[in-house]
Chains A and B, each alone.
Chain A
């Protein structure tokens, strides 16, 4: 750690290096006395110090001549010797303790700002020692030829000096030749199935279960740590755990009773539960939730317009179907990357390519089209890296990767795969197994369209009236105006809307009339009218995207030339001639990631390191130069059993989905900076087994879930022993309890209240979200986004959370506070931090109260006495009977709360049929108000309300609200 410095804190850390300068008098500099030392120092320079300078210093001191800090250039000895802005020598040969360069990198000297400035770039102790040794050895600076000779001896290097990774090559020889500690390259090693450790079967395994290799791997480490595992969890706990894990829903009391009383031995009984749950259609929903986190699913495009992506739901359902059908994972990869190329006639394959469209994207008239195109290319390249390869690639957009063996050339070669990938909302017939019900909701959109058209018509009439008055006031002849008006009426304008006053003006101006002879734009408009006009016009534009939802269209891509687009304000249909119109993009390394600074050209290809280190056939890493087939090649490379990464990546994710944490701690990053796997052999064993079993994910789940490791209790009999011997909690001596995810919490509430509609798939639904958030005005480009209108029917609103419309700019506040991820970043692991607004959302919200009321009503229907109702409530919520104390407290609470309710008049809150919006118009800067109709309100059937309950059951609703808020409800043991 850097110590306190005497230099003024106000001096930016980066300017300190300006004081450094190499001793200028290198010519005639006495060479260090001991030649042997010098030889070592030269080797050290070539192998360690120069790469260090390149990695840590040159960004500010040489790489970009325009940005050299303090005038100091460290690229060559000559340049360095010329010094920076200060003449103070940076290096005193043979005297590291007098050399500011050394003192700065130690980060602990009083007079010298720590270098590099960023604390996380600090040199390791070993690297600091290299610098010291090099200076102590005379700070020699061998030239290119000498360095090449030194590096040529690399074969003789010992392993601890690292491994050179053959790649397509970095921008500098130093990068290309750099060495990596073998441990940092673990993920690229060819995947071989390791032998299962020969250890005794853990004592916690059920007697009837076959030995599970997973337990052997886990137990081997526990044995080394001398940490006995926790005992097996009881059946009730296990059932709740595995039911949530595999379906995202709680087990019913009947399922619990059946499992608890199953006479089969523990192993067999649990195995049949696992089989049952893997066949549940809700399995696919739960896995889809995980997958959609990773790919950043949303139903809108984000950014300024946040336009609807009407057909994104078909991709979401494709994911659900794929998991349910146990689609082999290699095929799942292929379809998402290149379904359109592989099976152009299969709508399912077209829908699958929605994966490539998941990132936020738009092109407005404000943006430079080339930049927007590049944003798509960067997004999709990085997304493929994170999702399938656990490699965030964006670092390599601007430079060779600082840490991983990914040269920027690799990045652009991979990106070149997508240079012929074009965005389109493509026709793709509905499949028999897609849910296409509920399309009648389209009438709500049609009502809004009519509303907007009526506004525009009214404003148009107003302008025409005002224009006539203008002619009269100016005493000008309105004949040309009237003629143009007559010629326009009944026509459509360029955007397909009814032509009107704007077109009349345009016609007059086209006739060559000067501006002052033409009635003014927006004639007769009040402040309000300006706003209304904009809202109606933009509203019509926005709704076109919504209308796509009910059509056999897929959010997809096609292979072709890049069309010339200036803005995208309506869904893009594929062109008739994708291979002739538009630009055939030639990909080049973009200097600094700037699309206007192309450097060396690249050809489409795969990442080098997995291919070279993984011993993959080199031909797999090539892609055709033709327009079509590039993604097919990528798909084949990604789905190859010889690719060392994808199988490891998905095996790690499946582990995470069951244990709350991956064997490798950063499931999106297997690179140098990702956390290393705690059980690398186990991860390899799982990945190899996955491939062996035809990439069946269900087989992988079955293996994991039937292990004794998964079935452990979350409480250890000796907690202090666990803390002492497994401080990081990575040995799986106990099962890690977890909080339910946001969606699980909501779905579980609906399940216990009896309201949950378990229908699968289909167009997104709109649950009731916090009413104020629903009506919260929200700016989108040029207008305001529509209010969130809940679906009219309770059974639509009470669908699973997976099916709730996801608007990037308007997240459901309930989901947000319970750590549902932002849809712009790939989420590898859900956070589960506790924050205060969670309390407001779960304890105070109308939604929670509605669940409590429905639940109380259910209990009223299903039970005959108060004790029975409380017992049923506990069974539904926790899968257990209340203790006598809990029963007594609950009954007392019910009664006490009933007494309060006697004096309370409960009024059902009225539902608004319109919302009055107050806004600032951008034309005038003045406030104006407008009325947004809430079309869905007419048919809205509200949830059951407290006032609907007989008074003697209102206290039960309070009890239910409390149960929904308990830790036992929110956490899984």
Chain B
């Protein structure tokens, strides 16, 4: 087995330094060998090509979208203050609110009051979708969105609700949606992970299990590309170790492994491990280039709000997400937050909307302009919505608590019923009342759009065939075009 790695042409390029792999404009390794990437795409497109776990596989049925960009608004954005106006709350503002019953938790102790939204609303686009006016940019692409107000989850607490939204199981440990999708479909680009996560600087509650592979093989784990420092841990060798040195070490490693393998032909894992070193070396060279947003023109960067204080961070993630799906990464999940505005919701949600509004609008428009929106499913949601009431703490703090019974989710892209608002919550936004579905049905619907049947996308573990929806669910037909 030759220990040489097929990257001779790239070796001349200067080595990126360890700490400069920002999603930034700084790192520049020039254009990666895109043609070779594309050539590999075609090879991999054959279902089950050479038995690699990430090889692209045929969907169960005709897919409406090939890739997914999942915008995870961690912390629980308030539907009442974004996409589901409740004018009645203005009339009830600061009247006492009571909730009784078994589901009472300590969160609801003390006096509670109805809280009106500090935001104003308007109808936007030809569809006339009702959105808060501070979503200035999203208003431009609102006709591409399908708002869904009927989703409910089980958990009132962050990590369990996050786990449920991400994995279907409140208690963690199960594979994330992105893991199931890459397990079902593989990925087009064999040089990158099929499921990539762009987390906030600080990891969300519940941590890495939010993108864990659970009981699925490790190949389907979400790989976080960290927004600062090395995007993938140890992607580059320690300071002082040069590329040439590394190449020389790899050459010797290849020779020693080849000699060892020679007497163990039946042991296939050994060869697989040797290939992993080759792939790692390719990734090490290519990832920095893909992350280099300097390859995009200035107008595109500006459209995502890159370079402006408020929008820069999420703008970079959105633009990177587009670059990743463009290169055949199957599933990209972006985090923004925290939307957990128990107090001062006007300021907190105001700032968050400012941070994500322009980048998201630019992402939708950019995907559309490049013809990618039709084949990309975009999902926006949090782990739950927020309550119409709050404990008024100290007399000045207006905010909202967690609400698993009502939230807004929106979808855009391939196969979704764009330009429509589906489902409804009651007149104070406390509970979904129309087209009400458990989050498992949302999961089944997302899989369906991606060409996967939740009932067939199963994995045997713990004595039964497990599935994302846990026990089966139904497609929410109203969300489909």
Residues 609 to 626 of chain A near chain B (Cβ within 8 Å): none
Please give the number of chain B residues whose Cβ is less than 8 angstroms from any Cβ of chain A in the complex. 117
Given A15-B474, A968-B256, CB of A923 within 8 Å of CB of B200: no
A10 near B480: Cβ-Cβ < 8 Å: yes
Interface size class of A (residues with CB under 8 A): 35 or more
Q: Does B158 contact A (CB under 8 A)?
A: yes
Smallest beta-carbon distance A390→chain B, Å = 9
Residue from B234, B246, B255, B393 whose CB has the most chain A CB atoms within 10 Å: B234
Q: Of all chain B residues, which has the CB nearest A776? A: B203
B341 near A889: Cβ-Cβ < 8 Å: no
A836 near B276: Cβ-Cβ < 8 Å: yes
A366 near B159: Cβ-Cβ < 8 Å: no
A839 near B276: Cβ-Cβ < 8 Å: yes
B207 near A822: Cβ-Cβ < 8 Å: no
Contacts of A173 in B (CB 8 A): none
Once bound together, how far apart are the Cα atoms of A15 and B474, in whole Å?
Answer: 9
Q: Mark A35-76, 1 if CB is under 8 A from B, else 0.
A: 000000000000000000000000000000000000000000
Residues 410 to 465 of chain B near chain A (Cβ within 8 Å): 444, 448, 453, 455-456, 458, 460, 462-465
B277 near A966: Cβ-Cβ < 8 Å: no
**Taking chain B's interface residues, is the majority helix, strand, or loop, or is none over half, making it mixed?**
loop
Q: Of all chain A residues, which has the CB nearest B212? A: A822
Given A392-B463, A896-B248, CB of A965 within 8 Å of CB of B206: no
Once bound together, how far apart are the Cα atoms of A375 and B155, in whole Å?
Answer: 13
Instruction: Give the segment of A126-134, A338-346, A805-813 that binds chain B.
Output: A805-813
Q: Does A780 contact B (CB under 8 A)?
A: yes
Q: Does A520 contact B (CB under 8 A)?
A: yes
Contacts of B172 in A (CB 8 A): 302-303, 360, 822, 824
B217 near A833: Cβ-Cβ < 8 Å: yes
Once bound together, how far apart are the Cα atoms of A405 and B165, in whole Å?
Answer: 33
Picked from B158, B255, B352, B472, the residue with its CB within 8 Å of the CB of A889 is B255
A922 near B340: Cβ-Cβ < 8 Å: yes
Once bound together, how far apart are the Cα atoms of A671 and B460, in whole Å?
Answer: 14
Q: Of all chain A residues, which has the CB nearest B203? A: A778
Q: Mark B213-242, 1 if CB is under 8 A from A, else 0.
A: 011011101010010011011111111111
B283 near A836: Cβ-Cβ < 8 Å: yes
Picked from B223, B229, B240, B460, the residue with its CB within 8 Å of the CB of A904 is B240
Q: Does A157 contact B (CB under 8 A)?
A: no
Residues 369 to 428 of chain B near chain A (Cβ within 8 Å): 393-397, 402
Q: Does A935 contact B (CB under 8 A)?
A: no
Q: Does B57 contact A (CB under 8 A)?
A: no
A120 near B201: Cβ-Cβ < 8 Å: no
Residue from B267, B337, B349 whose CB has the most chain A CB atoms within 10 Å: B267
Contacts of A816 in B (CB 8 A): 208
Once bound together, how far apart are the Cα atoms of A846 and B267, in whole Å?
Answer: 30
Smallest beta-carbon distance B80→chain A, Å = 16
B105 near A367: Cβ-Cβ < 8 Å: yes
Given A118-B472, A366-B402, A395-B464, CB of A926 within 8 Å of CB of B61: no
Given A521-B394, A968-B256, CB of A715 within 8 Å of CB of B240: no
Picked from A668, A715, A900, the residue with its CB within 8 Å of the CB of B462 is A668
Given A822-B173, A838-B276, A906-B240, CB of A772 within 8 Å of CB of B233: yes
Given A770-B234, A833-B217, A900-B244, CB of A778 within 8 Å of CB of B202: yes
Residue from A360, A673, A835 whose CB has the most chain B CB atoms within 10 Å: A835
Q: Mark B174-218, 1 if CB is under 8 A from A, else 0.
A: 000000000000000000010000001111111111001011011
Q: Does B467 contact A (CB under 8 A)?
A: yes
B233 near A770: Cβ-Cβ < 8 Å: yes
Q: Does B14 contact A (CB under 8 A)?
A: no
Q: Of all chain A residues, which has the CB nearest B105? A: A368
Once bound together, how far apart are the Cα atoms of A706 and B212, in whole Å?
Answer: 40
Given A779-B204, A919-B201, A922-B338, CB of A843 within 8 Å of CB of B237: yes
Once bound together, how far apart are the Cα atoms of A366 and B106, in whole Å?
Answer: 6
Once bound together, how far apart are the Cα atoms of A784 and B202, in whole Å?
Answer: 8
Q: Mark A496-528, 1 if CB is under 8 A from B, else 0.
A: 000000000100000000011010111000000
Instruction: Give the segment of B38-46, B129-137, B144-152, B258-266 that binds chain A.
Output: B258-266
Q: Of all chain A residues, which has the CB nearest B170? A: A375
Given A846-B238, A919-B201, CB of A737 within 8 Å of CB of B229: no
A844 near B248: Cβ-Cβ < 8 Å: no
Contacts of A596 in B (CB 8 A): 102
Once bound together, how far apart are the Cα atoms of A922 and B349, in whole Å?
Answer: 9
Q: Does B55 contact A (CB under 8 A)?
A: no
A962 near B340: Cβ-Cβ < 8 Å: no
Once bound together, how far apart are the Cα atoms of A912 and B348, in whole Å?
Answer: 32
B229 near A366: Cβ-Cβ < 8 Å: no
Once bound together, how far apart are the Cα atoms of A674 and B444, in whole Å?
Answer: 27
Q: Does B288 contact A (CB under 8 A)?
A: no
Q: Of all chain B residues, which has the CB nearest A819? A: B218
Q: Of all chain B residues, which has the CB nearest A959? A: B252
Contacts of A566 in B (CB 8 A): 105-106, 109
Q: Does B475 contact A (CB under 8 A)?
A: yes
Contacts of A714 in B (CB 8 A): 264, 267
Q: Does A370 contact B (CB under 8 A)?
A: yes
Contacts of A472 in B (CB 8 A): none
Once bound together, how far apart are the Cα atoms of A970 and B373, in whole Å?
Answer: 45
Q: Does A489 contact B (CB under 8 A)?
A: no
Given A666-B463, A824-B172, A967-B257, CB of A303 within 8 Å of CB of B105: no
B158 near A962: Cβ-Cβ < 8 Å: no
Once bound together, how far apart are the Cα atoms of A917 and B75, in whole Å?
Answer: 19
Given A920-B337, A966-B253, A966-B260, CB of A14 within 8 Å of CB of B474: yes
B107 near A365: Cβ-Cβ < 8 Å: yes
Residues 825 to 863 of chain A near chain B (Cβ within 8 Å): 825, 831-841, 843-846, 849
A839 near B280: Cβ-Cβ < 8 Å: yes
Smallest beta-carbon distance A773→chain B, Å = 6
Given A924-B348, A970-B273, CB of A840 within 8 Å of CB of B233: yes
Given A521-B396, A835-B218, CB of A922 within 8 Å of CB of B260: no
Given A12-B475, A889-B252, A971-B270, CB of A773 within 8 Å of CB of B238: no
Picked from B203, B279, B341, the residue with its CB within 8 Å of the CB of A777 is B203
A781 near B205: Cβ-Cβ < 8 Å: yes
B477 near A119: Cβ-Cβ < 8 Å: no
B156 near A367: Cβ-Cβ < 8 Å: yes
Q: Of all chain A residues, which has the CB nearest B465? A: A120
Q: Does B245 contact A (CB under 8 A)?
A: yes
A825 near B218: Cβ-Cβ < 8 Å: no
Contacts of A917 in B (CB 8 A): 202
Q: Of all chain A residues, which has the CB nearest B453? A: A13
Q: Of all chain B residues, which has the CB nearest A514? A: B395
Residues 252 to 308 of chain B near chain A (Cβ within 8 Å): 252-253, 255-257, 259-261, 263-267, 269-270, 272-274, 276-277, 279-280, 283-284
Contacts A834-B269, A849-B241, A900-B244 known; 13 new A-B pairs at CB < 8 A? A13-B455, A302-B172, A360-B172, A366-B157, A369-B105, A403-B463, A714-B267, A737-B267, A835-B276, A840-B233, A917-B202, A946-B240, A962-B252
7 A-B interface contacts by CB (under 8 A)? A10-B477, A118-B455, A118-B465, A516-B395, A810-B207, A893-B252, A922-B341
Residues of A whose CB lies within 8 Å of any CB of B are 9-10, 12-15, 117-120, 302-304, 306, 360, 364-370, 375, 392, 395, 402-404, 505, 515-516, 518, 520-522, 566-567, 596, 666, 668-669, 671, 673-674, 714-716, 719, 722-723, 737, 739, 770, 772-773, 776-781, 784, 808-811, 813, 816-817, 819, 822, 824-825, 831-841, 843-846, 849, 883, 885-886, 889-890, 893, 896-897, 900, 904-907, 909, 917-926, 946, 958-959, 961-963, 965-968, 970-971, 973
Closest 5 pairs (CB-CB, A-B): A925-B348, A521-B394, A515-B395, A777-B202, A839-B280
Residues of B whose CB lies within 8 Å of any CB of A are 61-62, 75, 102-107, 109, 156-160, 171-173, 193, 200-209, 212, 214-215, 217-219, 221, 223, 226, 229-230, 232-242, 244-246, 248-249, 252-253, 255-257, 259-261, 263-267, 269-270, 272-274, 276-277, 279-280, 283-284, 337-344, 347-352, 393-397, 402, 444, 448, 453, 455-456, 458, 460, 462-465, 467, 472, 474-475, 477, 480
